[in-house]
Every structure is written in C-alpha cells, then in structure tokens.
C-alpha cells in the first residue's frame, strides 16, 4: 500500500501528448465509477451528461506566469532561471538555476529583455536566491521577457503552433497552457484538468444548473518532481500558496449541507479544499499548503474528481489512488493505454465519480 513501485505503470512514449486537442473541449473523457468499478469512454463535451443540476464545480483560477528566463552569465556561459514564487515572494526571489557549471554567489547575469540579476547564494539542490535589478514589478518584467515553463516531457522547437480551429491564427503555448478562467497570476505550471474547459461548455453547464466556485492555488515547479522515497509516507511535498474566498467556503458548506456534490477540477483544487477543511468544514483564508494526499487518506470535502492522467510514481497519481483505490486506478490506466488515450498535461481527462 505504501510502496512507490505499486503506483507505477508502463506508458509508450508516443502517448505523451505534445500539443493540446484541436479544441479545448475536444479531448476524450474516461468515466470511472468507484462503486461499480465500471469504466466508460466518452468525449469531454459529454461532461454535460455526467454533471447534475446543483453540482458545485470548484475551479483553480491561478494564472501561469512566464517565469522562465534565459540568458548568460557575465562571463558568457548560458544560464536558465525559473522563478519559483513570482507572485508571493519579494526581491530577492528563490529560483531554480540551470547552467553547465553552477554559478557562484555574486555572479552577475544578463537575461532576456536586458534584465540584470545577481546570484546571492550557493546553488543547492538546483536552487538559489536571485536579486533582480528592475524598476517595474517582477510579474510585469516576466510578462515582457519570460517564457512559459512547460513540463520537461513536452518538447518544443521554440515556434508557436497553428491551432486547427483558430481560423489560421497562431496560438502559442502561452495561450494554450492556460485555463480560460485563469485570473490570478502566480503559478509556474498549469492546473491541467482545467485546460479542457471552453467558455461555451462552462456556459452550457451553467444553463443546466451546475454551480461554480473558484479558489487559488499557485501550482509550483515541484509538481513535476518525482516521489523519490520508496516508502511514500516519507515523502515531503513542496509548499504552494493558496487562497480560498469566503464565497467559495460558503458555497462548499451549503452544497455539503444540502447533499449536492462537490466536484473538484484537478488535484490542486482537491489539496486546497482538503487542507482548508482540517478543522471541519472548508474555512476561508490563505497561506501555504503542503498537504500530501496518498492512499489511506480520509477525504472530507470532494464527491467527484476531474483530473488528467499523471506520471507514474508521482504525488499526483498517489492522490488519485487515494480517491479511487489502487486496483481500480491501475485498471483504468491500463485501459487508457490500450485505448490510446493521450497522457499528461496536454492529454485527455478522467472523471471519477
């Protein structure tokens, strides 16, 4: 139950989605029913059939920041920075630092857009504090000079792709790797389950009587990090900033009291809701969440989970296994491989009732 190897599976490389579906809601949708163990194959637009009037759908409205900066050391060597908490830290900022040779403290950097910065600390575990010499807010600087930090399994040649349903307009990952309801900048990775929602689907569900609430959890770079402890109970999750408005806490409380389902869109939404319910009932507030959910966890809030297909041995797949059970989860993943579903960030989705 607690061995990491029990949550791994074989995935052909060609099933790792490199680009999104032709339309946001054009992906496939696997329905997994916990009680019966039934697995059904649908399209994401069929979500209208599976959500009920009165359901409360909770969305993570974080916005991905182009937090990746490329440049050179003053000596000439190439360097790459990823600002870890661009919206919640202040100058200096903690960054992931990637270079052929780790820069020493005091090293000056010349980054994209003419941005200058300085390494302050020794690079430990790939991280250091970096001081930026800027006059505008860092978020504004990143919007001008940064690029979207795509997951390492997505390969790019630096060129935008043509979206087949965009009437010939060029759409970049900066647009595709962002939910249509993203509002609050601060994430360095997308809450990918939400990428499937189009504005029109949201409105059709609303017309059916589905309710919505939003929270914010700024997804961090740690979401890409594998669990390295063989005994998963020893793993420690990275911290991410969250904020749950009073209106959302009240909406969740009302849904639970009235027997309506709370449907979480994405694992980040699950962790924020469950973290906020530690004292009983979802409480409004903000802070830092490092809740690690793995099999054996007792859920307090959610009644259904909409999520993508996740990396083997990741904290994300462990959360899903905690919700659906290891055996049914691996059956569903094996079925997805047989049926040639698309995996990971730009891949297909599953709804676990």
CATH code of 332's domain: 3.40.1780.10
Res 267: pLDDT:
97
319 lies in some domain: yes
Res 158: pLDDT:
47
Of 125, 145, 165, which residue is a domain's last? 145
Q: Any idea what DSSP says for residue 227?
A: P
The pair phi, psi for residue 122, each rounded to 5°, is -60, 145
Regarding whether 281 and 263 lie in a shared domain, the answer is: yes
Regarding whether 301 and 189 lie in a shared domain, the answer is: yes
Cβ atoms 14, 243 nearer than 8 A: no
**Cα separation of 99 and 73, whole Å?**
9
**Cα separation of 7 and 233, whole Å?**
13
Among 224, 157, 160, smallest CA distance to 190 is for: 224
Res 66: pLDDT:
95
Res 336: pLDDT:
98
pLDDT digits (tens, 9 = 90+) for 274-305: 999 998 899 999 999 999 999 999 999 999 99
Res 171: pLDDT:
53
Residue 159 has pLDDT above 50, yes or no: no
Res 223: pLDDT:
76
Cβ atoms 88, 218 nearer than 8 A: yes
pLDDT band at 157 (very low <50, low <70, confident <90, very high): low
Q: Any idea what DSSP says for residue 128?
A: E
Res 161: pLDDT:
42
Give the domain extent around 272. 4-64+173-352
Regarding whether 182 and 109 lie in a shared domain, the answer is: no
What's the pTM value of the predicted model, to 2 decimals?
A: 0.93
List, edge to edge, every strand of the sheet that includes 349-352.
Answer: 39-43, 28-32, 349-352, 304-308, 262-265, 56-60, 211-217, 240-244, 285-289
153 lies in some domain: no
User: What tokens were used for 206?
Assistant: 């609303």
pLDDT digits (tens, 9 = 90+) for 49-102: 999 999 999 999 999 999 999 999 988 899 999 999 999 999 999 999 999 999
Regarding whether 84 and 39 lie in a shared domain, the answer is: no
Which helix (H) or strand (E) is 6 found in, with range? Answer: none
Regarding whether 329 and 235 lie in a shared domain, the answer is: yes
Prior bond of 189 cis (ω within 30°): no
Question: How distant, in Å, are the alpha carbons of 82, 123, 344 from that of 222?
Answer: 12, 17, 15
């Amino acid at each position: 139950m607690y061995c990491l190897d029990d949550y791994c599976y074989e995935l052909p490389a060609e099933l790792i989605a490199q680009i999104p579906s032709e339309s946001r809601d054009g992906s496939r949708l696997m329905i997994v029913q916990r009680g019966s163990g039934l697995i059904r194959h649908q399209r994401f637009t069929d979500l209208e059939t599976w959500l009920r009037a009165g359901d409360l759908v909770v969305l993570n409205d974080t916005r991905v920041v182009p937090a990746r900066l490329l440049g050179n050391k003053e000596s000439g060597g190439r360097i790459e920075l990823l600002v870890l908490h661009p919206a919640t830290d202040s100058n200096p900022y903690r960054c992931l630092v990637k270079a052929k040779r780790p820069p020493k403290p005091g090293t000056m950097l010349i980054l994209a857009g003419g941005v200058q910065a300085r390494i302050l600390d020794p690079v430990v575990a790939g991280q250091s504090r970096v001081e930026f010499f800027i006059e505008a807010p860092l978020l504004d600087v990143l919007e001008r000079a940064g690029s979207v930090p795509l997951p390492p399994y997505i390969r790019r040649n630096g060129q935008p792709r043509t979206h087949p349903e965009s009437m010939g307009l060029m759409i970049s990952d900066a647009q595709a790797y962002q939910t249509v309801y993203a509002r609050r900048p601060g994430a360095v990775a997308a809450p990918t389950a939400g990428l499937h929602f189009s504005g029109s689907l949201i409105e059709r569900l609303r017309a059916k009587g589905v309710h919505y609430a939003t929270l914010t959890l700024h997804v961090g770079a740690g979401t890409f990090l594998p669990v390295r402890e063989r005994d998963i109970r020893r793993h420690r999750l990275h911290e991410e900033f969250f904020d749950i408005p009073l209106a959302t806490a009240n909406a969740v409380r009302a849904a639970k009291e009235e027997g309506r389902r709370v449907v979480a869109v994405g694992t980040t939404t699950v962790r924020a809701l469950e973290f906020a319910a530690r004292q009983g009932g979802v409480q409004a507030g903000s802070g830092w969440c490092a809740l690690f959910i793995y099999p054996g966890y007792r859920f307090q809030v959610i009644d259904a989970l909409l999520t993508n297909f996740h990396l083997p041995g990741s904290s994300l797949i462990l959360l899903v296994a905690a919700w659906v059970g290891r055996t049914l989860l691996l059956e569903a993943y094996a079925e997805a491989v047989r049926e040639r579903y698309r995996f990971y960030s730009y891949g297909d989705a599953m709804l676990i009732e």
